[in-house]
Amino acid sequence: MVTLQKALWGIILVVLVTCPYHTQARIGTFWHVTDFHYDVNYTTTGDSQNMCWDHRVDNTSPGKFGDYGCDTPLELVTAAIQAMVKIQPKPDFILWTGDDTAHVADKYFTTTKVVNIIHELTDKLNRSFPNTTFFPVLGNHDYYPKNQVSHYGNHDY
């Protein structure tokens, strides 16, 4: 089982930026969150052979906060965002580089399901950082069908 701490660092990176300002250094902070791969169907009692996407690892008893080869349960999403607020509640900005949905086949998704997952994460982040500017970027898993986002004439985005 993955420990909470290891799992948190898996999806959160914090970077301190320094930039010269006259002769003194000004220090700013930002959060970079990426690859939530939130699995709305994750459960600790689930059959990992069906629920988890990578079967090269032994993940027969999925943990509360996720497991190797599996996508992210709601508990981990919530704990990660709570940890962000605890560690740095007022970053200068938040970079959010997408890949929000689970590694499951397109047959389990629709545009509405993908948009709902992005909406749920947006809502959680916005509630936790109501006054922070976000710079969101879409990943290949943030479109239905995945990897197929078109360059023009895109109805959804």
Ligand X SMILES: *[C@@H]1O[C@H](CO)[C@@H](O)[C@H](O)[C@H]1NC(C)=O
- Minimal CA–CA distance to 67: which of 87, 37, 97, 25? 37
> Which pair of tokens denotes residue 39?
């699995």
The one segment of 4-12, 29-37, 63-71, 107-115 that binds ligand X by CB under 6 A: 107-115
Of the residues 5, 6, 17, 41, which one makes contact with ligand X according to CB under 6 A: 41
Instruction: Report if residue 135 touches ligand X, rule: CB under 6 A.
Output: no
- Do residues 105 and 42 lie in contact, with contact meaning Cβ atoms separated by under 8 Å? no
Instruction: Report if residue 60 touches ligand X, rule: CB under 6 A.
Output: no
- Do residues 35 and 71 lie in contact, with contact meaning Cβ atoms separated by under 8 Å? no
Instruction: Give me the residue label for tokens 């027969």.
Output: 60
CA atoms of 155 and 157, how far apart (whole Å):
6
Of 80 and 146, CB closest to ligand X = 146
Instruction: Report if residue 51 touches ligand X, rule: CB under 6 A.
Output: no
The one segment of 26-34, 71-79, 101-109, 143-151 that binds ligand X by CB under 6 A: 101-109
- Minimal CA–CA distance to 81: which of 29, 126, 28, 139? 126
Of the residues 3, 61, 78, 126, which one makes contact with ligand X according to CB under 6 A: 126
The one segment of 8-16, 42-50, 66-74, 126-134 that binds ligand X by CB under 6 A: 126-134
- Do residues 54 and 69 lie in contact, with contact meaning Cβ atoms separated by under 8 Å? yes
Residues in contact with ligand X by CB under 6 A are 40-41, 102, 104, 108-109, 113, 122, 126, 130-131
